[in-house]
Structure 1
Amino acid sequence: AEATAAPDAAAEARQPAGPAAPAYDDAEREAVLKVMRERRDIRNGFRSDPIPHEVLLRVLEAAHTAPSVGHSQPWDFVVIRSADTRRAMHELAMRQRDAYAKSLPKGRAKQFKELKIEAILDTPVNIVVTADPTRGGRHTLGRHTQPQMAPYSSALAVENLWLAARAEGLGVGWVSFFDEREMVRALGLPEHLDIVAYLCVGYVDEFPDEPELMQAGWSKRRPLSWVVHEETYGRRALPGEAPHDLLAETVAQIRPLDAKALGEAWERQKRMTKPAGALGMLEIISAQLSGLSRQCPPPIPEPAAVAVFAGDHGVHAQGVTPWPQEVTAQMVANFLGGGAVCNAFATQVGAEVCVVDVGVATDLPATPGLLPRKVRAGTSDMTTGAAMTREEAKQAIEVGIETARDLVAAGN
């Protein structure tokens, strides 16, 4: 059933007698949507053809018409054509690229090695888009409580520039492999400016049908239905549709294990030089992985991710373990620091370790690799009552579903 909002008497009283402002006609609307759909972050296939001044001017004019908080217009555009300057910027980017590559797990590093991440030397024009957090003065409308509105506004100018460039047949590649302060100094920019984007601009051989990172398998496009929430976060529903139940949808998509691969896995277990059952649950898990992948032995995914979900049990109060409750937070820190057994196993197969705080009793500091998804601060003592409410249990399961699908969408 289609949901409709309750009538607002005050809103009805404000309705003017005349018609609303007209929309674009079908052809105009499709042209706007077309340029949005076909905009691409380009790194390959640039041509050396010069960009006519009038074309570049139209692109910059479009960028300059972007909306901004408090009409502050905090952006500036530094147009770079000098080969020497572009070579210097290329060297900065390569240093950061190498540093990033060293931080990646083996599976991701192998994939990253094949990616082209910039086109600084391949394009006739580079454009640096900056944000001036002081522009408009201290009383800029809308920036009093949110000073980050300056770079956010400049990001809107980047989008306008990008769409206008696509309409002109120009490719744009956004380079983010920079130390921002290092670039400010290298370009001789005023120290109070923030760099929002470094863009490589030029004509291209073609615009790919899909984003280049999708084509390379680095990531996947997330469906719209994942990101639209009705009234409250987590109540996902597209306009005109009823909210969907993530848990029920996921359960409905689970297929039976492949009987042939499952049988082959158990036969393979019998041929191994070990007593039957010596590996305990690992034997069952390995067989299940074969059934899931429909192959025996199951392939090791690459790149891969291991998700560790951390939480505290309220029953700890009954003395069921000699370890103090604080050990949970200490183990989370160990996982994040790479010192746990699961980190060692993950390293062997080149996998990334992702730690999810779904219910640790204490507050954990923000740390790279930690996903804060706390449903509650530990469970209650199950010997004195329910450990969790049914809704909390469902929410925790859905945290697992969302984590898994997000990791897959990120290319794992």
Structure 2
Amino acid sequence: MPAGTFDATFRDRFAELVAWRRDVRRFRPDPLSDGLVEKLLAIAHQAPSVGNSQPWRFVLVEGTDARAGVRASFLTANAEALSDYTGDRAGTYARLKLAGLDDAPVQLAVFCDEVTGQGHGLGRRTMPEMLAYSCVCAINTLWLAARAEGIGVGWVSILDPREVTGLLDVPDGWRLVAYLCLGRPLEEHLDPELERAGWQDREGLETRILHR
């Protein structure tokens, strides 16, 4: 098969992979096999980036104190978020499982280096946010690669990014884009957890397409 050409079987399996790419919050605590995280990060590094800037910076959060600080930030932010809801919606929110911080064997912070000279500014003069979008491309690439290895990924956004940035003592000019939990899923579900928990159903694609 010529390079860059994929057959129907591969395309079908890829669609299946995307469908199974779920945001995982329930993890088995077993450690991942040696070299697997490095393999996933190498694949993520192949993601597209504006001007070939490659602005993603991966921080493996392994220290007990750092993890405890992140968990504390989550608990505070989660309590504040709960206070925004009332009635049945507040009750549903309180029952949601929103992070896998206690069990996931791997925790990974993804930063955007907003002062990188890589790429010489190409493509971001009018849209500087393209640096952060490039990091999101790397995250999505990592997510699919992890799923292909049977690894789940959960994106924890309920935390204070400035607080987490300070905890991790990263260089100036780095902005937190994502805090990820990785590990083998405790459960496997094709449908999103928030849908199963009654928070909101996933809407159809037709509601997301406009024609002009």
- TM-score bracket, shorter-length normalisation: over 0.9
- Equivalent pairs counted in the alignment come to 211
Find the counterpart in structure 2 of residue 143 from structure 1: 124
Q: Give me the CA root mean square deviation.
A: 1.7
Conserved 8 A contact 2:56-2:113:
yes
Find the counterpart in structure 1 of residue 16 from structure 2: 34
Name the SS of the counterpart of 1:53 in structure 2: coil
Conserved 8 A contact 1:75-1:129:
yes
Conserved 8 A contact 1:81-1:124:
no
Alignment gaps of 5+ in structure 2: none
Greater Rg by CA: 1
One-letter code aligned to 1:191? D
Find the counterpart in structure 2 of residue 225 from structure 1: 206
Identify the structure with bigger relative contact order (alpha carbons < 8 Å, sequence gap 6+): 2
Aligned residue among 105, 113, 131 for 1:132: 113
Name the SS of the counterpart of 2:83 in structure 1: helix
Q: 2:155 & 2:141 partners in 1: Cα distance?
A: 14
Aligned residue among 115, 118, 129 for 2:99: 118
Alignment gaps of 5+ in structure 1: 1-20, 233-412
Q: Quickly say closer, same or farther: Cα 1:159–1:22, change in 2 above 3 A.
A: closer
Name the SS of the counterpart of 2:186 in structure 1: coil
Conserved 8 A contact 1:119-1:173:
yes
The TM-score with structure 1 as length reference comes to 0.49
Q: 1:24 & 1:229 partners in 2: Cα distance?
A: 30
Q: 1:120 & 1:63 partners in 2: Cα distance?
A: 22
Q: How far is 1:201 from its partner?
A: 0.6
Q: Percent identity?
A: 39
Name the SS of the counterpart of 2:107 in structure 1: strand
Q: Quickly say closer, same or farther: Cα 1:173–1:22, change in 2 above 3 A.
A: closer
Conserved 8 A contact 1:130-1:194:
yes
Q: Quickly say closer, same or farther: Cα 1:188–1:216, change in 2 above 3 A.
A: same
Q: 2:163 & 2:7 partners in 1: Cα distance?
A: 48
Q: How far is 1:31 from its partner?
A: 2.0
Q: 2:110 & 2:173 partners in 1: Cα distance?
A: 14
Aligned residue among 8, 20, 25 for 1:43: 25
Q: How far is 1:105 from its partner?
A: 2.6
1:24 aligns with 2:24: no
Q: 1:29 & 1:111 partners in 2: Cα distance?
A: 38
Q: Quickly say closer, same or farther: Cα 1:113–1:190, change in 2 above 3 A.
A: same
Conserved 8 A contact 1:176-1:198:
yes
1:159 aligns with 2:163: no
Q: How far is 1:206 from its partner?
A: 2.8
